[in-house]
Each structure stands twice: as structure tokens, then as C-alpha cells.
Amino acid sequence: MSSIAQSTQVPPVLTKPKLSPDDWVMRTLIIVAIIALFTVIVLPLYSMLAKSAENSAGEFIGLANFITYFNSPALFKSITNSLFVSGTSSITVLFLAFLYAYALTRTCMRCKAFFNIVALIPLLAPSLLSAISLVYVFGNQGIAKSWLFGESIYGPIGIIIGLVIWVFPSALMIIKTSLQTTDGRLYEAATAMRSTPLRTFLVVTLPGVKYGLISALFIVFTLTVTDFGVAKVIGGQYNVLATDLFKQVIGQQNFQMGAVVGIVLLFPAVLAFIADRYVQRKQVSLLSARSVPYTPKPSTIKDNLFFIYCTLVSAVLIGMLAMAAYASFVTFWPYDQSLSLTNYQFDLMDGGGWGAFTNSLRMALYTAVFGTLFIFGTAYLVEKCRGFKGARTIIQMFTLLPMAVPGMVLGLSYIFFFNAPNNPLNFLYGSMAIMVISCVVHFYTVSHITAVTALKQMDPEFESVGASLKVPLYKTFFRVTLPMCLPAVLDISTYLFTTAMTTVSAVIFLYSPDTQLASVAVLNMEGAGDIAPAAAMAMMIVLTSACVRLLHYFLTRGLRRKHLLWRTK
Amino acid sequence: MVALEKKQLEYEYHDPKNDAAAAIKNVVGMGNKYLEIIDLVKKYDDFVALKGISLTINSGEFICFLGPSGCGKTTFLRAIAGLDHQTSGKLIQSGVDVSELQPNKRDFGIVFQSYALFPNLTVAKNVAYGLVNRKASKPDIQQKVSELLHTVGLPGSESKYPAALSGGQQQRVALARALATSPGLLLLDEPLSALDAQVRTHLRSEIKALQRNLEVTTIMVTHDQEEAMTMADRIVVMNHGVIEQVGTPQEIYQHPATAFVANFVGTTNLLPCTVIDANSVEVGGVKLNVSAPQVLLGKQALLAIRPEDIGARSINNSDTNSLDVLINEIEFLGSFSRVTLTHQSGLTLTAEFSMNSMRDLDITSGKSMKVTLPIKHIRLFPEEPSSPR
Ligand SMILES: Nc1ncnc2c1ncn2[C@@H]1O[C@H](COP(=O)(O)OP(=O)(O)OP(=O)(O)O)[C@@H](O)[C@H]1O
Ligand SMILES: [Mg+2]
């Protein structure tokens, strides 16, 4: 009955599975995705690199441009300025956000939900908004100019405050997550050993969030060193790398030197990115599946102190928004303080009018729709394709790359690449499409990670079950995978929409007279001295982002109810 | 589980493909070759998970793959399904070479350890998942689904979501879903391991009864020997990517082919020994009578004897292999006790005595007693940990 055969010594015939139509489709799509990502990420960056080694006649001159750059004291000063401003604001925001995150996760303070929402306000607006508000408060005609004791807000002080406000939510989210994932059992152990609160903080809390803090530092540093809006509005004569890049390209039309600054700007971003990857890899090993969440215990003094702190921070964030909102309704600051909608008559001003706003809406919508389709689709292919390892690894590399490329640098490289006369994709230049592409690429990494995380959370055997029941893969995708991933899909599209709506850096070099955008209009109107209309346009952006977030909230809540039905008894 | 007519499922639902499958089944018939696996190798990079496995499975058989964790059971099962393709080797299913076919071109139903029920679909839609694709009419599908749920003992739970079911119920739904398309081969990967002991015992007999009634060829992976013993027609014992033995539960238990099997299935005293001649071995200074196979003469070997085979009643000094031993520990296990015995030579044995013997012989810790190792229950295996291939 039993029938074990001894294996023979004949060399075995290797069997290769016949590829099913599903496999062919997936592999073809993966190749298409690789080509697409290569075209919109790698090739443009390469053309920027090439440009930096050319003279204005297009001849190769090696590193001559870089030598000129580093020998020009004014340009070189921007590097130290940038590092100073970013370093200072990063450390400041880290400190502020840590306290805020600590209050939200480790105390029994009142109104946590409120403080959670308020902290997100800066995400709704371009970075310009915080700078504009600062001008209204501390500027030449500001309401609280005297508070600065004669110092001018136009310069490093203004830039630092503006940046701190703008990146506050980004830092907060990372730190909060790492505080939430610390193992509660450690605290129980510390209490059992009668450790003092200070000692517990130093020995348990800080090491637990160490990686979160470092990660936040790198991300915030990249954001601040590559931001352009704040320095442009409130920097005055204080030059930083990002404003230099703008001046070289838009002001002097010196594209070669622009490419050089672009590459210099790429450096800190890439370094921070690599360091962050390194740290994040370490962090994974810290978490265990058996951790228990930490539940804070009430303590009157602590809770009240943190409540006061959070109230102060919230007051600043709300104040920033309220100041701009109020200023946008004031007829003619500071002479005619009556409230009116004068500043909202964008069609009477330069900057693109209401058309810019509708363009922005369209662009954000396209970015959300096509971006989500492409990003989620690619993530699905990478996760579910059988075999084809090499190609999947390439895609994974491509998806990480955009995070290290500042928006302005990406935009600049698009000029070089798409505007080249011999490029068959030249027709994209100056179109809506190129801005959509730029936005999708610029915000690719975060969206991709969201998609992959959601896909990984599903039972890997769903597809196997489908195959055993002879159900084509696409049916399983639409009937099971997609519905299960809908919350993530909503997250991605909301993220893409709001970031596309608010970004300046990714589109500043790419818009054309036909495709003016709201965020750029804010910048241009402010530059032309129309600061109140700029505030008004910024408020329109805030309003739109807020509405989309609200919509997202309600949709997600509905979904969660449904999922609760799927998940619990 | 509800009693059911033989093959009820196969005939209620008509589909040209299924008729073809049924026709093949009739041709093949119970007890004929259904699945032939020839020299299957699976490599993960440098690691060889399956080292050239060959096995023939008859139609209608219930086969269990039994082996320790990491021995390659799941890998083997997934290779049979085509979910993880083998590196080399052949698979012939009801006469057709399926070695290079994708899973969706093969004929099997599968239940995973995690069940992999679609959480966003109701029980009915889960069960009907494979049917909808076959262009059957709605009422037909509905009827089929309710029959299937009836069969697995879950009538009336069509509209529930999987999350609202207990582990055992989810397991049944997964089974119904796998059976819905009337596959010729049912694959179960540790289907019961996530359940608690009582549900497990209960489902064991249900699955076995269901399988017998449907006459569907079934392969179940398990690392629980009791499960394999009670359910399987034949057990395939695996270790380190090779098959150690194939046989009925009785064969495996009573005539283990290797020391590994002897030790893995049930418990065994495994004692290193030297084979002196065809009739005797030396174990730690004690000479025992055995019948040793020719190949082991003069070699180091392992002597195996099951605890329950050690005799304790009415022993004379003249009896073969009788030993004076000291009673060390006694572990009370209900109807019998497990007793650790030491011989003056340092030899330690584990024996199992019924409560009856314990009482009659007054076996208590610290006393000495006489035991025998009957020749017919002693087996000898080559010393090296078996990895013959
Ligand atoms: N994808 C893989 N890559 C590399 N090695 C693998 C992979 N899958 C399995 N293995 C290895 O192959 C061997 C057999 O694994 P398999 O899952 O078949 O074991 P198993 O007998 O099912 O064990 P268990 O009882 O724990 O489920 C293991 O040593 C495992 O580490
Ligand atoms: Mg397994």
C-alpha cells in the first residue's frame, strides 16, 4: 500500500509553472508602472544632473558651475542660513510637539479630541498662510509689532516662527504614534519597582520614543530646509536655499545655476531621508505583538499643567488661522477696518482670479483620482504578483525615492526634462497634466506606504482561495480586496487632494498662464503687495481642504461602522 | 452534523465541468490511483524544503501529513495545490499531468488554518463565491448554499458575517466553501489547530464522516498525532523534507519504519545499544535478547520499546530480558500511570501500567520490581538519526 520511491539519481527536470492570463496581465502592468515611474522620477532627475554640468550654451563643462556657486559668498551664505533656520525651527518644533503629544497620549487632560483636531489646522493651508498671519501680527503695520522690541519679523525670526507653526502637525503625528506604541507593561514594571516619575520618564518614556523623535527630526528638517513659501513671504533680505533656487530660475532665468542649487538642496534632503530609513528599520524590532497599550492615570497637577500648555499652543494655531481669516475680510488694512468681501473679488486682481481657484480644485481632484488609482494599483501589483521579484524590487525602490526629493527640485527637473525640445512628452509642458504628475510623484511615498500597509493586513490566502475556486483575480480584487481596503483608499485620496491643493513647491515652476493655481496665486498676490487678497485666497484653500477632510471623516465613519460589522461579533 | 445522503452534493448541482469531473471519478473509482506525486523537490533559495518526495494517493482516501513543525508539510500541500510551485518533480492528478498548471487550472478545494473567509461577505456569499463564477442561476445557487450549510451543520446562517461566528463555525463555513464546487481533491492545512480541544474532537469526527460520505479524496496537514490517528486512512509521516513512512495508523504505530517515527508517533524508549549478534544486543552493560536484522550486526543501533509493552506481571528470573529495577517517579494519568524505572546499570526506562497492575503489583515509588522487555515488542533501528535519502 505504501509507496515511497527512492529518488533516482537522474537530474531532476525543473518545472516552471505556466503563466496564467492573470499573471501575464499583472506582469505587463508592472512593467508599464516601472516605465512610468522611471520616466517621471529617474529621467527628470538625471536631466537636472546633466544640466548642472552645462553652460548656458548647453556645452559640458563639468563641475565649473559648482565651483562658481561655492565661490560666490552670497549664494554660499544661503546654505548656512538654511541650515540655521531649519535646525533652529526643527529643534523648537520637536520640543513643542513632544509636549503636546505627551499631553494627548499620557495624561488624562480634558478636551483631547478638540486639541487633536486643532493641531491639524496648519495642514489645511499652504505654508504661506502662517507667514501671512505673522505679517499681520508682527509686520510693519502689525497689531502687535511692539512685542518684538524693535526686532523685525522680516528675517530669520519670522521664518522660524512660520516654519514651526507649519510643520507642527507633521512632527506631532510621528511623535504621537511612537508614544502610543510604547508598551504599557514597561510602566507597570516601573511602578512595581517604585521608580520615581522622573526616573520612569528618563528610563522608559524617552528611550521608547527615541526613534520616533529622531524620525520626526529628520522629516521636519527636510520639510523646513526645502520649504519655500515661508521664506518667500517673510524672509525679507534673508536668503535661504529655496528662495535662491526660485530667484535663479524665475528671476534670472539661470537654469544651470538653478540646477546647481537644486542639487545642493537635494543633499540635506537625501541625507535626512537615508538617516530616517536607517532609524525606522531599527524601530521595528522594538515593537512586539504582545505589547499592551498604556492607559494614563489621572493626576490633577499634571493634567492641568498640560491642559494649560495645550490651550496656549492651540490659541496660537487658531490665532494664526483667525488672523488671516479676519484680515481677509477687512476692506483695506489698516485704514478701513470695516468688514467686506472686497478681497475675495479675485477677478479684479492679478494672480489668476477665481480661475486659479477652480484650476486648483481640478488639479487636486485629478491628483486624488489618478494618483490613488495608480498608487493603489501599483501597490496591489507589487504585493500580489507571484514571482517577478526583480521588477517588484525596482518598483519598491522607485516608490521610496520621491520622499527624498524636495518639491521644487522635482519641479525644476521637470522643466529640464519635459521642456527639452526632443522629448516626445514635450506636449505635457505647461499643461495641467504635468502638475498632476508632479503632485502625485511628490506625495507618492506616504501614499504607497499607506496602501501597502492596508494590503499587508489582509489574509494572504484570499487570492489562493479565489484561485482554488477558479474565480479570476480581478473579481476577488473588486469583491474583497478593494472593499476591505476602502478606508486606506479614502485616506490616500484625501491626502493627495489636500496636499495638492496646498502645495506650492511642487507646482511653482510648472504652472502656465492657462493653469494658474490658488496656492501660487497666494504667493504672487503677496509678492505684488496684495496681501489681503492673498490671505483671502489662502482662506479659500483652507475652506476647501477642511471640507474634504470633513467629507473624509464622515465617509470613514460610515465605513468603520460597516467594518465593525465585519470584524466583531 | 446532519446525516446526509451519499454523494448528495455531487448530484444536486449540475454543471458540465462537474459532470466531467464526476465522470472521471466514476472511471477512477474508489481505491484507484488518484494523485501521483513523483520526486517532488522544493527549494527556497539554498534551503531544500522538500527533498524529492514521491507518493501515490488513491481516490477517496483520507491522507494525513504528520510531522514536526517546519518539516515541510505546508510546503508539500501548497505544491500539490500549485499555490507554491515545486522546483522540480511531477504531479499527476486523475491521469492528467498538472505539474505546470496554475492553481486555477487544477481541481481542488482548500481550507486554510486561518480559514481566509472573506470578512466583507456574508456566509452565503462566501460559500457561493466559487459558484457565482459558474453562471449558475440564482435560485440554484441559493439552494446549493443552503444544502452545503446544512451538510456542515450550520443551517440558517446565510446572512451572518464571518466575524459573528465562533471559530468552529467559521471552520465549517470554510469547509462548505471549499466543497461548493465539488472538487475532486480536498486540501486541509491544520484546519483544527486554532480551535479549543473540545470543538476539535467534535469536528474531527464530523469532517471524517463528511469525507466518507462525499468520498472526496482528502489530504490534511497536522502536527497532532492523535488527530492523524483518528482521522486518516493512511498517514504520511514527514521529517526534514522527506517522508519517513507511509501507512495506516496501525502500521505506523505498531511497525514504525524508523526511530524517528517510533519516537514521534506515540512515545517510545529509545536506547542506544550495540548489536552483538543476531540474537542479542548490549544496552549500557545489560545484555538483552532480540532478533536483530542482518544489516545491523556488530553496529551501534537504537533499541525501541513502547512504554505499554514493558511487562510487569508474573515474571520469573528465567524469563528473557527480565530486569530488576527501582521505581522512581510515578505520573498518574487516569486509567494508567507512567512510571520511570532505573536499572542498577544506570539504564532508565519509561513504562505504562494500567491502574489494575498498579494495584495488583503494589507499584509505589522507591520500591523495586521486576519487568520484562518482550522480544516481539523490541525494535532495532540504525543509530544515526534517520535521514536515509
Ligand atoms: N517562503 C519561504 N522562504 C524560505 N523558507 C521557507 C518558506 N516557506 C517555508 N520555508 C521553510 O521551509 C520549511 C518547511 O516549511 P513548512 O511551512 O512547509 O513547514 P510545516 O511542516 O508546515 O510546519 P508547521 O507545522 O510549523 O506549519 C521550514 O523550515 C521553513 O522555514
Ligand atoms: Mg504549516
A173 CA from centroid of ligand 1 (Å): 38
Domain A64-340 has CATH 1.10.3720.10: yes
pTM attached to this predicted model: 0.83
List, for residues A297-317, the tens digit of each pLDDT value: 888 898 999 999 999 999 999
Q: Do A108 and A298 form a contact (C-beta atoms < 8 A)?
A: yes
What residues have CB less than 8 Å from B23, skipping those under 6 apart?
A: none
Residues of B in contact with A484 (CB under 8 A): 119-120
A305-314, B150-159, B243-252: least confident range: B150-159
What are φ and ψ of residue A551, in 5° steps?
-60, -45
The domains of chain B are located at 3-254, 267-382
B170 CA from centroid of ligand 2 (Å): 19
Secondary structure class of B96 (helix, strand, coil):
strand
What confidence tier does A17 reach under pLDDT thresholds 50, 70, 90? confident
CB contact (8 A) between residue A18 and residue B101: yes
Side by side, the strands of the sheet bearing B47-58 are: B47-58, B33-44, B88-93, B96-97
What are φ and ψ of residue B149, in 5° steps?
-65, -35
CATH topology for B267-382 is OB fold (Dihydrolipoamide Acetyltransferase, E2P) (2.40.50)
Which among A2, A461, A565 has CB closest to B161? A565
End-to-end C-alpha distance for chain B, whole angstroms = 43
The domains of chain A are located at 64-340
What residues have CB less than 8 Å from A365, skipping those under 6 apart?
A: A497
What are φ and ψ of residue A372, in 5° steps?
-60, -45
What are φ and ψ of residue A361, in 5° steps?
-55, -50
Neighbours of ion ligand 2 (CB under 5 A): B 74
Q: Is the CB of B240 under 6 A from ligand 1?
A: no
Helix and strand element counts for chain A (H, E): 24, 2
List, for residues B259-315, the tens digit of each pLDDT value: 899 989 888 999 999 998 888 899 888 889 988 888 888 888 999 999 999 988 877
Nearest CA in chain A to B63: A2
Pocket perturbation via mutation, ligand 1, pick of B71, B77, B112, B187 by most ligand atoms within 8 A of CB = B71
Q: Tell me if ipTM is over 0.85.
A: no
Torsion of CA A315, A321, A326, A327, to 10 degrees: 120
A519 CA from centroid of ligand 1 (Å): 54
Instruction: Mark out chain A residues that contact chain B at CB-CB < 8 A.
Output: 1-8, 12-20, 22-23, 459, 461-462, 464-472, 475, 479-480, 483-484, 565-569
CB contact (8 A) between residue A565 and residue B38: no
Atom of ligand 1 nearest to the CA of B113: 27
B74 CA from centroid of ligand 1 (Å): 7
Nearest CA in chain B to A563: B120
Mean model confidence pLDDT for chain A:
86
Give the pairing type, strands B269-277 and B348-354.
Answer: unpaired
Res A370 pLDDT > 70:
yes
CB contact (8 A) between residue B104 and residue A467: yes
The mean per-residue pLDDT over the stretch A526-539 comes to 89
Helices A432-442 + A407-418 axis angle, to 10: 140
List, for residues A391-443, the tens digit of each pLDDT value: 988 998 899 888 888 899 999 999 999 988 888 888 888 889 999 999 999 99
Residues of B in contact with A568 (CB under 8 A): 163
What are φ and ψ of residue B323, in 5° steps?
-130, 145
Domain B3-254 has CATH 3.40.50.1370: no
Give the pairing type, strands B234-239 and B62-66.
Answer: parallel
Residue type, A302: K
CB contact (8 A) between residue A566 and residue B119: yes
List, for residues A46-75, the tens digit of each pLDDT value: 999 998 888 888 788 888 888 888 888 888
